[in-house]
Amino acid sequence: MNNPFKGLFTLLLCGCAFISIADEYTDGVYELNRGNFTQAISLLTPLAEENYAPAQYELATIYLDYGPRKDIDKGLALMQKAADKNYTEALFYLAITYTEGEIVPKNLVKAYNLTKEAAYDKSITAEFNLAVMYSQGQGTQRDYTQAVRWYRKAANKGYVLAQFNLALMHYEGKGVKQSSYRSYIWNTIAAKSGYKDAETSRLHDQRVLTPDEIKSGRREATALYNKIQANKPK
């Protein structure tokens, strides 16, 4: 006779195991943030050995970034394991590593591919960096249309440098139709976010706009800014 509680019992055990892993991981990150690397390594290593990607990533950062515990080979191996599981932070970390070329040979194609994966996983910083790569032809063919697409994604999430660069793309007509009006809107949004260079660019845009365009642009910028702030990722 089948036991109707067997499946429930198994689910409860799995749930308890997950909570235990989450608690140990949280404790490990807490110790890492306190600078208690010995305890952090002790807590995170068993989780990393169980192929828990967040633990692999945090443990990798200890070996790659913190002098007394540095072990580049071990750190890169752990970071790659986390990246192989499509863990966003690991993908982006490796992308930066291959861009800089300090602890691994510089490889912009690899950096581009990793950045693209992280961007598709909705990392805001990766979205911005991918836009820069398309804009500069870094690791891929230059593509201003794609640059605008990814700048806009990051800009709509409140990434101020993406807002400023998107304004520049509109001003220069790269990837979009040239429009000082759209440039004015995005510079106004970036300026509202506290980016000083955007205020200078906004005033420059304003010189070629009519009073009605300026008034309309301000309204549109305010409405879009408020929408971005309301939906900004926590």
Q: Do the domain assignments include residue 176?
A: yes
What pLDDT score does 134 carry?
A: 98
Containing structural domain, residue 199: 143-234
Q: Do the domain assignments include residue 189?
A: yes
Q: Do the domain assignments include residue 216?
A: yes
Q: Do the domain assignments include residue 155?
A: yes
Single-letter amino acid code for the residue at 201: S
Q: Do the domain assignments include residue 164?
A: yes
Q: What is the DSSP letter of 68?
A: G
What pLDDT score does 71 carry?
A: 94
Residues 6+ apart with CB under 8 A from 148: 131, 166, 169, 174, 175, 176
Q: Do the domain assignments include residue 53?
A: no
Domain total for the chain? 1
Q: Do the domain assignments include residue 15?
A: no
What sections of 6-123 are H helices per DSSP? 6-33, 37-49, 53-65, 72-84, 88-100, 108-120
The tokens of 156 are what? 């709509």
pLDDT of 55-97, one tens digit each? 999 999 999 998 667 899 999 999 999 999 999 999 999 999 9
Q: Do the domain assignments include residue 191?
A: yes
Contacts 24+ apart (CB under 8 A), 103-108: 103/64, 103/72, 103/76, 104/76, 108/133, 108/138, 108/139
pTM over 0.95? The answer is: no
pLDDT of 142-174, one tens digit each? 999 999 999 999 999 999 999 999 999 999 999
Q: What is the DSSP letter of 67?
A: G
